[in-house]
Amino acid sequence: MKKYVNIEGVPALIQGNGSNKVLIAVHGLMSNKEDTVINIAAKCAIERGYQVISIDLPEHGDRKDDKKLVPWVCVEEIQKVYEYVQNGQKEISIFGCSIGAYMSMIALKDMKIKKSYFLSPIVNMYYLIQGMMYGFNITEEMLEQEKYISLPIGQTLDWNYYMFAKEHPVCWNHETYVLWGNKDNMMPESEIDSFAYHSHAIVEKVNSEHYFHLDEQLELFENWIRRVL
């Protein structure tokens, strides 16, 4: 069963029959609520008796509004989705991909979460932004003065985003499973290992890039999600 709903302005897709177990799925950058890995995770979760709710983050999927993909907006929206699910007294788990994992961890760190499953998670946004600043010789003082700086790679540095990441490090303490590719150019192994140490996450490392999209990478992902669900 597929049902498209709108949760206080957040486009969402509900898959599977009603269940006391719900998996909230949050996609990564340049993706949407019906992304390939979201659908794979949903298929496997439904087989395990879950109902799956995936959402579109701002500027993605069906989002044509004026909201931006910034943490304070995403946090509020993910919390709204959690509350929408929690109203039914459900057992809630989370699946997050890349930046979707980061936004989910910031939003739900104090919520009751049964399990979390993260694919190529951004576990240290401050580190990631600092890396972009260093690569383009941009200092903190320059960014504070300009507020926004466009980069040749198509990204824009945002002072408020940078400060949010600096002041809100990931602090996650739920049962967590991570799949990470050894060619990930976004989050190095040292950051993943540090996250695993502090959060007690179980990490599986495979031969892949940050973006799991090739057939063999998607097969690795599907095999992993089936094992850990």
What percentage of residues in the chain have a pLDDT greater than 70? 100
**Which residue ranges form the domains of the chain, and what is each CATH number?**
2-124+169-228 (3.40.50.1820)
Take residue 162 and report the two structure tokens written for it.
Answer: 């940078």
pLDDT band of residue 43 (cuts 50, 70, 90) is: very high
Residue 173 has pLDDT above 80, yes or no: yes
Measured CA angle at 188 (ends 204, 27), to 5 deg: 65
Residues across the chain = 229
pLDDT at residue 122 in the model: 98
pLDDT at 154: 87
The pLDDT, as a whole number, for residue 87 is 82
Nearest to 206 by CA among 222, 31, 6: 222
Q: Which residues share a beta bridge with 149? A: 157
- pLDDT for 20: 94
User: What count of Cα atoms within 13 Å lies in the side-chain half-sphere of residue 56?
Assistant: 22
Residues whose CB falls within 8 Å of the CB of residue 54, separated by 6 or more in sequence, listed in order? 12, 13, 15, 24, 25, 26, 27, 33, 34, 38, 42
Q: What is the DSSP letter of 84?
A: H
The residue whose two tokens read 């466009």 is 150
Q: Are 52 and 44 in contact (CB under 8 A)?
A: no
| Residue whose entry in the numeric block shows the structure tokens 């006391």 | 20
Each residue of 108-165: pLDDT tens digit? 999 999 999 999 999 999 999 999 999 999 999 999 999 999 999 888 999 999 999 9
Mean pLDDT of the 81-101 span: 93
What are the beta bridge partners of residue 176? 116
Whether residue 1 has pLDDT greater than 90: no
- Say how many C-beta atoms besides its own lie within 10 A of residue 190's C-beta: 10
* The pLDDT of residue 64: 79
Contact 206, 182 (CB under 8 A): yes
Residue 146's pLDDT is: 96
Dihedral sign for Cα atoms in the order 198, 203, 205, 206 = negative
* Beta carbons of 165 and 154 less than 8 angstroms apart: no
3-state secondary structure 147-174: CEEECCCCCEEEHHHHHHHHHCCCCCCC
Longest dimension (CA), the chain: 52
* Whether pLDDT at 66 is above 80: no
Asked if the model's pLDDT at residue 46 lies above 90, the reply is yes
